[in-house]
């Protein structure tokens, strides 16, 4: 496979084609890392030939990307190779992360708000971890993130350029800078098709295109960092439940007349505190919804509680099984 400034030969026979199908092991991520490692080794070797006393050098490989959107997991995977990268530049068309991989916690609320279950809990915690790692990589490495600010223009290009002082290669295709677009999820990744440019001219034209888009873009690095930072905060089910309770309508307190009638019933029927409390709650629900259900274990005094509720109403109708009638 020839690049822009020389010949790049992969030692991996599975990467011998310029066509990148995103099927293991021929994924976009594997190809990019293979290029980065090869160019890094080449630069290291060339520098050592120039200077016999050469021991080590700073990274000399740059990665430049144009993508419609991104997600944190993609940054996490490349953060493992930060020691090989001199610079990392990403130009995005949409500032918000990919909707399919936004690191937020969600809950299922069924008919009863007390029945709450966490959806894909382990996956969501992993997303939070990914956001932390991505934030650290972007904040501390030589990373640049830009956004095309042209009005009413959708940046839909997908371009990946790997450069060193001695070599450069460009990959053009369909993959966005997301974990699925890069092929990181294996067979569950998106079905993508990308092509490694095999001529110096095509690679240079791709680089020129990248620079032209870069000239029309402005930095959005801090905005991306802020978005990632907001996803660090884990809210437990208790936190979410407390928030839900705080938004429920305030209970209507019984009127003075109702309170007096209920207190009379409490004394007359000898209601326990928990029965009196249940009666007040039933009255509140009847006023709010027009209906209420009292359910408790056998022997808890549901009849006495119901008598407490009935004491404030006129025109009471009691429906009971025939064998309970006097």
245-250's contacts with Cβ under 8 Å and 24+ in sequence apart are: 249/288
CB 202 within 8 A of CB 227: no
Residue in 204, 230, 220 with CA at minimum distance from that of residue 67: 220
Is residue 170 within 8 A of residue 18, CB to CB? The reply is no
pLDDT for res 271:
86
Can you tell me which residue has the tokens 């936190």?
239
**Backbone phi and psi for residue 33, each to the nearest 5 degrees, phi listed first:** -65, -40
Query: With 60 as the cut, is the pLDDT of residue 164 above it?
Result: yes
Ranges of H-type helices in the chain: 28-50, 72-79, 121-140, 179-182, 200-215, 221-230, 237-247, 256-269, 273-289, 302-310
Nearest to 75 by CA among 58, 57, 92: 92
Residues with Cβ within 8 Å of residue 254, at least 6 apart in sequence = 262, 280, 283, 284, 312
What is the rounded average pLDDT of the residues 314-318?
A: 81
44-48, 63-67, 163-167, 283-287: least confident range = 44-48
Q: Which two tokens stand for residue 314?
A: 């006129």
Residue 50 to residue 177: CA distance in whole angstroms:
36
Please answer whether residues 148 and 181 qualify as being in contact, where contact means their C-beta atoms are separated by less than 8 angstroms: no
Two structure tokens written together for 53? 């006393």
Residue 200 backbone phi and psi in degrees, to 5: -65, -40
Whether the Cβ atoms of residue 162 and residue 104 lie closer than 8 Å to each other: no
- Residues 61-89 have pLDDT tens digits of 999 999 998 999 999 999 999 999 999 99
| Cα torsion 254, 256, 258, 259: sign | positive
Going by pLDDT thresholds of 50, 70 and 90, the confidence category of residue 160 is very high
Tell me the pLDDT band of 312, cut-offs 50, 70 and 90: confident
Pick the CATH number of 13-243 from 3.30.930.10, 3.30.870.10, 2.170.190.11, 3.40.50.300: 3.30.870.10
pLDDT confidence band for 191 (50 / 70 / 90): very high
The Cα–Cα gap between 229 and 67 comes to: 22
Domain with CATH 3.30.870.10 in the chain: 13-243
Q: Tell me: the pLDDT tens digits for 112-155?
A: 444 445 556 677 788 889 999 999 999 988 999 999 887 778 89
Q: In whole angstroms, give the CA distance from residue 66 to residue 125.
A: 28
Nearest residue to 312 via CA among 282, 291, 289: 282
**Each residue's pLDDT tens digit, 4-44:** 444 444 555 556 789 999 999 999 999 999 999 999 999 88
């Amino acid at each position: 496979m020839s690049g822009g400034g020389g010949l790049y030969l992969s030692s991996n026979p599975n990467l011998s084609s310029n066509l990148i199908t995103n099927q293991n092991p021929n994924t976009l991520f594997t190809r990019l890392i293979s290029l980065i490692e090869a160019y890094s080794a080449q630069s290291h070797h060339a520098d050592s030939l120039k200077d016999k006393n050469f021991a080590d050098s700073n990274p000399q490989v740059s990665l430049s990307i144009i993508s419609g959107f991104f997600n944190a997991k993609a940054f996490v995977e490349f953060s493992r190779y930060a020691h090989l990268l001199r610079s990392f530049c990403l130009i995005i068309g949409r500032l918000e992360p990919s909707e399919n991989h936004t690191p937020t916690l969600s809950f299922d609320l069924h008919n009863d708000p007390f029945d709450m279950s966490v959806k894909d809990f382990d996956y969501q915690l992993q997303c939070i971890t990914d956001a932390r790692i991505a934030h650290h990589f972007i904040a501390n490495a030589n990373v640049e993130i830009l956004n095309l600010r042209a009005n009413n223009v959708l940046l839909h290009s997908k371009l990946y350029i790997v450069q060193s002082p001695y070599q450069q290669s460009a990959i053009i295709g369909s993959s966005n800078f997301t974990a699925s677009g890069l092929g990181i999820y294996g067979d569950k990744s998106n079905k993508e098709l990308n092509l490694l440019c095999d001529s110096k001219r095509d690679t240079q034209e791709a680089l020129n295109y990248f620079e032209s888009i870069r000239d029309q873009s402005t930095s959005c690095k801090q905005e991306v960092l802020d978005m990632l930072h907001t996803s660090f905060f884990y809210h437990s089910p208790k936190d979410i439940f407390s928030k839900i309770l705080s938004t429920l309508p305030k209970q209507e307190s019984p009127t003075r007349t109702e309170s007096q009638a209920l207190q009379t019933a409490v004394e007359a029927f000898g209601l326990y505190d928990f029965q009196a409390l249940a009666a007040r709650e039933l009255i509140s629900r009847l006023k709010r919804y027009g209906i209420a259900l009292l359910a408790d274990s056998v022997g808890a005094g549901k009849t006495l509680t119901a008598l407490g509720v009935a004491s404030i109403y006129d025109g009471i109708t009691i429906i009971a099984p025939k064998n309970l009638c006097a």
